[in-house]
Every structure is written in structure tokens, then in C-alpha cells.
Amino acid sequence: MPIARGYAATDASKPLEPFSFERREPKEDDVVIDIHYCGVCHSDIHQARNEWGNSKFPMVPGHEIAGVVTAVGSKVTKFKPGDRVGVGCFVDSCLHCATRDVDREQYLPGLVQTYNDYEADGKTLTQGGYSDSIVVKEGYVLSIPDNLPLDKAAPLLCAGITLYSPLSHWKAGPGKKVAIVGMGGLGHMGVKIGAAMGADITVLSQSLSKKEDGLKYGAKDYYATSDAETFKTLANTFDLIVCTVSAGIDWNAYLNLLKVDGTMVLVGAPEHPVPVHAFSLIPGRRSLAGSMIGSIKETQDMLDFCGKHNITADIEKIDIKDINAAYERVLKSDVRYRFVIDMATLKG
Ligand code: NAP
Ligand code: ZN
């Protein structure tokens, strides 16, 4: 079995630490990837600290993986050594399905997450991208367009698709007023992608400290949610609100910013339930919805869209030894806008 090196959480209360583990021997439909970069998603922190109550340890987090193919199985046709590729939040989806539902696979029970899940054998834990290599079935590997640098493209594999999917499902485009709540890793991708789709984007952030960046990324407006006036000024304004906030906030205040028939989509996943008043929804026939990443087909569409529009994440590259300090900074919303681990620092 090939040995991989990485960083793992061994327990919800401990910092991540160096960790070696076995990757599976590649099968005929597998692609072996040398990981160059991995983004640090807030979901990694939720899971490393067992905030969603489903964590399995030891856990090598990381599902914003970008790297280069080093070997392929005998039946692989789409990839060859040297190809620039990505892996996102899941590495299988059809364990219990007769056919693969390519449009909605992330919602079906056969999903196998890139980490914090079990491989097809039901026993071996999957391990993610804070590591030097990964072995993934061909059908779950994405092509990264040549014009996108691997480090800045890595966050597209989760942050990018998580915003692209609801923005396209709810038809963000010309004439649509869309608010993105939270200018973090997900939020800043939402501004860039939504603006490229032609929607009229407003950012709702806790303060105005990142306003200049938001406008540079294509937002038309930028408001501070710490200012109570914002909620009066923007009442009944938006067709769509995408909420990326990782903490519990008063969703009722945001629902009141929707027009009649507007939809607020949750992608941010706070630890605790949030109460919703019926009268935040009833008078405006408003909808409250959720959305989870995107299918492999949609993720490739998103990467091609980003290639065409030259969209990547704004990143701070880090040494893997600094991962625990990076987590603390994410928790303080102190990152512009995504930490990306340079895996050469693991190998060096
Ligand atoms: P992030 O970089 O930490 O961004 C979250 C942003 O939310 C912060 O930058 C901040 O924006 C805002 N925020 C944080 N705490 C807040 C508070 N107490 N009150 C108001 N606003 C607050 O995290 P991320 O990686 O973008 O992930 C965001 C959430 O999405 C996480 O819960 C993550 O698990 C979830 N997620 C979901 C999916 C999915 O498929 N649905 C996929 C990936 C991640 P401002 O500073 O601008 O206010
Ligand atoms: Zn993620």
C-alpha cells in the first residue's frame, strides 16, 4: 500500500498534527494525484472539531485539492500523467444507486465524502487533501483549465461550486438582485461568480472593512449588517440571498430583505439550530432553502466557466505547519479570502 504523509486531527479537542497513513493500491479506474495545494474550508474546522456531531478520527481534512496526475489505472481514458486536476468534496456517489444521477448526485445516499467518511469497503476511513497524494476514481476527478493557476484554483473545488450551484439553480443573471451574506472564502467566490453571471450583486458583511475588495470583485453595493439602518434600507429588495455565514445569525432579519417570491438559500452551516418566524415567510410568499456543493458535472461546468472568465480565489498561501494558527484566523474572519496549504512545505 502506498504511504501518504499529511496532517490529521486525532480528536475533536486536539490541534492537527503530522500523520502518515495508507492510500489504497490504485485500481484499474483510479487516478493517482500528487497534491500541490489544498484550500482550508470552514467545513474542515467544523468537522475537525466535531461541531456537526458526525466526526470520525483520525481525520485528514481537506476537500479543495489541486495537483498533478502521476499514474492512471488501465481503464482510465480521461486523464494521463502530467494532467492538472482537482478533487472536491466527494470521491464516490453511486454506492447504492443502479445508475449515477449526474445532476443531483451530491444529495443521494451513496455519496462518499473525500474525508470523514468510509470507502466503498465500509471500513476504511477516507482521508482528505492535507496530504501529499490521493487515489481517486476517474469519474470524480476534475480538469483544471490551463489558464488557472493551481494554488488559486484549489478553492473552486468547494467554495467555488458551493456558490456556483445555487446561483445557477436560482437563475442569478441580468436583472436579478442578489445578496451574498458574508465575505469569506465562499462569499468572495459568490461575488465573483454572480457578477460574471450578470447578476446585480450586493454584499452584506459585518463591517465595511472589505468593501473595496467586494466592489473590485464585481459587487454593485456593499452594506454593513452591524448598522441597523441596512435592514430598513434594503427591506423587500432581493430576488435571491445566499447566506454563507458559518455562525448562527438572525435569519428573520435577512428574510425580510427578500422581494415577494424571493428565496434565501443557506450554504453556511452553523453548529446550532436557528429559529425562523412563520411571518418572515408568509407575507411575501418567501422561501428558505439549502444547497450543498454541486455534482461532478456541475463542478466541471463551474471550472470551465471560471476558466472562461478568468475567475480564481484570492488566497493566502501557508506552510502546513501553520494550519492550527490558520484555523484560529478563519474563526476570527481574518483571512483574505482563503488559506491554501502549499504541500511542498510538507514534502520539504
Ligand atoms: P469563512 O471563510 O469563515 O466565511 C464565513 C463568513 O461569514 C466570514 O468571513 C464572515 O463574513 C461571516 N461571519 C462569520 N461569523 C459571523 C457572525 N458571527 N456573524 C455574522 N457573520 C459572520 O467560511 P467559509 O469557508 O466561507 O464557509 C462558510 C460556511 O459555509 C461554513 O459554515 C461552512 O461549513 C459552510 N459550507 C457549506 C457548504 C455547502 O455545501 N453548503 C460548502 C462549503 C462550506 P464577514 O466578515 O464578511 O461578515
Ligand atoms: Zn468546503
Half-sphere exposure of 142 (CA within 13 A, CB side): 33
Clarify whether residues 208 and 273 are in a common domain.
yes
Residue of the CA atom closest to atom 22 of ligand 1: 245
Cell of 276: 425562523
* Residue where a domain terminates, one of 290, 309, 325: 290
Clarify whether residues 200 and 87 are in a common domain.
no
- Supply the angle between the helices 159-169 and 296-309 in degrees, to the nearest 10: 100
Ligand 1 site, residue 10, Cβ cutoff 6 A: no
Cell of 207: 463591517
Instruction: Give the whole-angstrom CA distance, residue 266 versus residue 243.
Output: 5
Clarify whether residues 45 and 172 are in a common domain.
no
* Residue where a domain terminates, one of 290, 310, 331: 290
Clarify whether residues 97 and 10 are in a common domain.
yes
Clarify whether residues 94 and 130 are in a common domain.
yes
Clarify whether residues 274 and 300 are in a common domain.
no
Clarify whether residues 26 and 169 are in a common domain.
no
* Residue where a domain terminates, one of 290, 321, 337: 290
Clarify whether residues 21 and 118 are in a common domain.
yes
Our mutation pick for probing the ligand 1 site, out of 90, 105, 333, counting the most ligand atoms within 8 A of Cβ, is: 333
The answer, as to whether pTM is greater than 0.85, is yes
Instruction: Give the whole-angstrom CA distance, residue 17 versus residue 344.
Output: 17
Clarify whether residues 154 and 168 are in a common domain.
no
Gap from CA of 204 to ligand 1 centroid (Å): 12
Residue of the CA atom closest to atom 18 of ligand 1: 247
Give the residue among 116, 106, 139 at the shortest CA–CA distance from 27. Answer: 139
Ligand 1 site, residue 184, Cβ cutoff 6 A: yes
Going residue by residue through the chain (348 aa), what tens digit of pLDDT does each one get? 789 999 999 999 999 999 999 999 999 999 999 999 999 999 999 999 999 999 999 999 999 999 999 999 999 999 999 999 999 999 998 767 767 788 889 998 889 999 999 998 889 999 999 999 999 999 999 999 999 999 999 999 999 999 999 999 999 999 999 999 999 999 999 999 999 999 999 999 999 999 999 999 999 999 999 999 999 999 999 999 999 999 999 999 999 999 999 999 999 999 899 999 999 999 999 999 999 999 999 999 999 999 999 999 999 999 999 999 999 999 999 999 999 999 999 976
Residue range(s) defining the domain that contains residue 170: 159-290
| CATH number for the domain that contains residue 260 | 3.40.50.720
Our mutation pick for probing the ligand 1 site, out of 180, 244, 251, counting the most ligand atoms within 8 A of Cβ, is: 244
Gap from CA of 60 to ligand 2 centroid (Å): 14
Give the residue among 154, 211, 190, 156 at the shortest CA–CA distance from 266. Answer: 190
- Could you tell me where the beta strands, DSSP code E, fall in 88-243? 90-92, 112-113, 133-137, 142-143, 177-181, 200-205, 221-224, 238-243
| CATH number for the domain that contains residue 315 | 3.90.180.10
Ligand 1 site, residue 102, Cβ cutoff 6 A: no
Our mutation pick for probing the ligand 1 site, out of 245, 264, 272, counting the most ligand atoms within 8 A of Cβ, is: 245
Clarify whether residues 259 and 314 are in a common domain.
no
**pLDDT computed for residue 77 by the predictor:** 97
Ligand 1 site, residue 205, Cβ cutoff 6 A: yes
Ligand 1 site, residue 244, Cβ cutoff 6 A: yes
Clarify whether residues 122 and 237 are in a common domain.
no
Q: Ligand 1, residue 338: give the atom nearest the CA.
A: 2
Ligand 1 site, residue 303, Cβ cutoff 6 A: no
Tally the domains of the chain.
2
Gap from CA of 326 to ligand 2 centroid (Å): 15
Clarify whether residues 168 and 52 are in a common domain.
no
